A and B are shown apart, each in its own frame.
Chain A
Amino acid sequence: MMEPFLMPSVRPTEAASDRDLVAQCQAGDEEGFNELVRRHQQRAVNVAFQLLRNHADAVEVAQDAFVRVYRHMADFRGECEFTTWLHQIVVNLARNKHRWWSRRGVDKTFSMNATVEREDGPVHREIAAEGPGPDAEVLQAEFVQQISDAMGHLPRKYREALVLRNVEELSYEEIAVVLSCTVGTVKSRIARGREMLRRNMRNEG
């Protein structure tokens, strides 16, 4: 029988170490904060990017998120993992940015494969090639491209849930904390999101 995906979202050693760094930071050690940034900058930028699909805005949101982390480190009491807290901040700031776009009439259903605005360097494409040969890779790349397009048309709440689940590999419980909703809502958003994704892809295909 097929095994369900059972992936712990935060490796225990990493989480423990995050706690140490947070404590270090709370004690006034700046290096603790620097290490937290270095460790989680990729995560923060990528989540923001998946939600906003604009590199410059994603970087800005990620940086603002770390500014917030720094300024409110004293308030963080370790009731959730540091990464959950960081995700929460990034998602909130990305929402603000998205609303800001919406208010100005920027395309709400932005294409996930639209030209990516960025100031330096390319956006890496990390495509998991399942097949051994180049043909399989091309097919997989096309498939991911279709998903990318379809994700761009998903309502924000479904996109958030799917990104946190499949890109960030958070558990439903962690996603519920990040999105301030119940586990049942997360379950339903992920299921509906995937269903909508499938429908969108069928329409486009």
Chain B
Amino acid sequence: MNCCESKVQMSAYLDGELTAAEQEKMEAHLASCESCRLDLTKLQRLANGVAALPSASVPPGFLADVRRKLDSVGAAPQRSWTDRRFRLWWVRLPVGAVAATAVVVWVVMLTRPPAPLSPSAKLDEPRVVSIQAEMAPEPAPVTTMSERARGASPVPGNAPEWVVGDRLNAKEEQIKSGMGSARNEEVAKGSQPALRRDEIGLEKSKLTAAKDAGIRPVPERILVVNRDVVAVQTVAEKVAAGLSGATSRVYHAPDGSMSFLHVEIPASQLAEFRAQFGQQYASMAERQKESLPFRSTGWTQRSLSDSPVGATGSPAGSAYLREAAEGKARVGSAAATNESMDLPFSIGGRGFTGTVGPVNGQESTARKAGVPMVVLEIQIKPQP
């Protein structure tokens, strides 16, 4: 071993992490090299210094605060016998893959026109350009929590608070086109290859499958701004779990800027979900105010009209939607789990953390029974 090799291995030697053979070589070298012995002493002093860094004290009432938080976010997620089955890799892998495909399908439905494409078609630039020109920026119809409490309506002249049903269609078309344009720009820059025909065919088949399953695209987005992301997520999950046939999936932007909760729900239950979520969120926010006065919370709702190019409010989220639309979204095996711990997975080469899986391990029986479903997207942004 020479000095150079010794320097590479020295840190691991200090930590007792070398193999017996490596350690032996290192010690033989140290015995004969004064310079490396000096380096080792310095390194050890450095490591001791890191170990001696000032530590933080635990404030009194720490456990009580944890308990209060637990009361606020609710008890542990319900567990059923299906959970145990779901833990098995050979069950969760395909279920995770199906869940991931479903996310892709929703995004594809949002972003790609279902019209058949000619064999030579890459992307239909002229149509995109023309619709892009139509898209004037619209002011966001934002209603705050307090405004809602006062019964105030959104900013006059804007779209209503909730855009559901048929009103969605025109907006969807704009969004699809907007996303197409974003993609085209990338293609033009040469950063992304155009889709091959067979890839388009694949996406079309997914689209058909989604339509057959009765899934509607995201009919509305709720933007929740709250410091306690877990709490909001739990409230939404609890409401979804309480409604028959609803499932939800969570994913987090890798930059921590935003989390998304997609709730797939029978269309007939949408109003009920809104009402319950609104009520439970309000009551949670009240509890937060009482126990943690420094927190500011807010809840705004956005119709699709204020995110004309499918922007999710987060660069990572937008990128995810774009990549998913391009059929590049891939979910790794780590995501094939229903544990809602932050597990890393990758979509289109981009790291994400989060959950992909049915809520509480329950598959939607409603969808299986052919009930028309809608997908509602709750975006959760942390705020101090």
| Chain A residues at the B interface, C-beta cutoff of 8 Å | 1-2, 4-7, 34, 37-38, 41-42, 45-46, 48-50, 55, 58-59, 62-64, 66-68, 70-75, 77, 88-89, 92-93, 95-100, 102-103, 112, 116, 118-128, 130, 140, 143-144, 146-148, 151, 162-163, 165-167, 169, 171-172, 180, 187, 190-191, 194, 197-198, 201
Contacts and interface: CB of A to CB of B under 8 A. Distances in A.
Give the one of B40, B230, B234 with max A CB within 10 A. Answer: B230
A4 B15 contact: yes
A4 B58 CA distance: 32
B43 interface: yes
22 contacts: A1-B27, A2-B30, A2-B40, A4-B18, A4-B23, A41-B58, A50-B55, A55-B56, A71-B77, A72-B76, A74-B79, A75-B339, A89-B342, A93-B342, A96-B382, A147-B49, A167-B53, A172-B15, A190-B11, A190-B15, A194-B11, A197-B50
A77 B255 CA distance: 29
Please indicate which of the listed interface residues A93, A123, A162, A191 has the most CB atoms of chain B within 10 Å of its own CB: A191
Interface in B30-57: 30-31, 37, 40, 42-57
Contacts of B23: 4
A116 B57 CA distance: 12
B14 A5 contact: yes
A194 B42 CA distance: 10
Contacts of A123: 54-57
A77 to B, nearest CB: 8
Interface string B43-75: 111111111111111111011011001100101
B350 to A, nearest CB: 14
A199 to B, nearest CB: 11
Contacts of B37: 2
Interface of B: 8, 10-18, 23, 27, 30-31, 37, 40, 42-60, 62-63, 65-66, 69-70, 73, 75-77, 79, 83, 87, 228-230, 234, 252, 254-257, 339-342, 344, 353, 382
A187 B54 CA distance: 24
Contacts of A34: 63
Contact of A100 (B50, B58, B60, B256): B256
B62 A37 contact: yes
A112 B49 CA distance: 13
Contact of B62 (A41, A95, A162, A180): A41
The 7 closest A-B pairs by CB, nearest first: A99-B256, A49-B56, A191-B11, A166-B50, A4-B16, A147-B49, A6-B16
Given A127-B52, A187-B11, A190-B15, A66 B57 contact: no
Given A4-B23, A5-B47, A73-B76, 5 more contacts: A2-B44, A5-B15, A72-B341, A120-B59, A143-B49
Nearest to B40: A2
Nearest to A60: B227
A5 B52 contact: no
Nearest to B48: A128
B50 A162 contact: yes
Contact of B342 (A92, A144, A146, A163): A92
A127 B53 CA distance: 7
B131 to A, nearest CB: 31
Contacts of B48: 128, 130
A152 to B, nearest CB: 11
Nearest to A198: B46
B65 A50 contact: no
Contact of B16 (A5, A89, A97, A147): A5
Contacts of A59: 56, 58-59, 62
Nearest to B78: A74
Interface centre among B18, B60, B257 (most CB of A within 10 A): B257
Contact of A67 (B14, B30, B73): B73
A126 B55 contact: yes
A122 B57 contact: yes
Nearest to A191: B11
Contacts of B382: 96, 100
A64 B58 CA distance: 14
Contacts of A48: 56
Nearest to A66: B66
A4 B341 CA distance: 35
A169 to B, nearest CB: 8
A165 B15 contact: yes
Contacts of A190: 11-12, 15
Contacts of B56: 45-46, 48-50, 55, 58-59, 116, 123-124
B85 to A, nearest CB: 13
Contacts of B75: 71
Contacts of A7: 16
B181 to A, nearest CB: 26
A68 B341 contact: yes
Nearest to B12: A187
A124 B73 contact: no
A138 to B, nearest CB: 14
Contacts of B50: 147, 151, 162-163, 166-167, 197
Contacts of A63: 62, 65-66, 69
B25 to A, nearest CB: 13
A89 B15 contact: no
A190 to B, nearest CB: 5
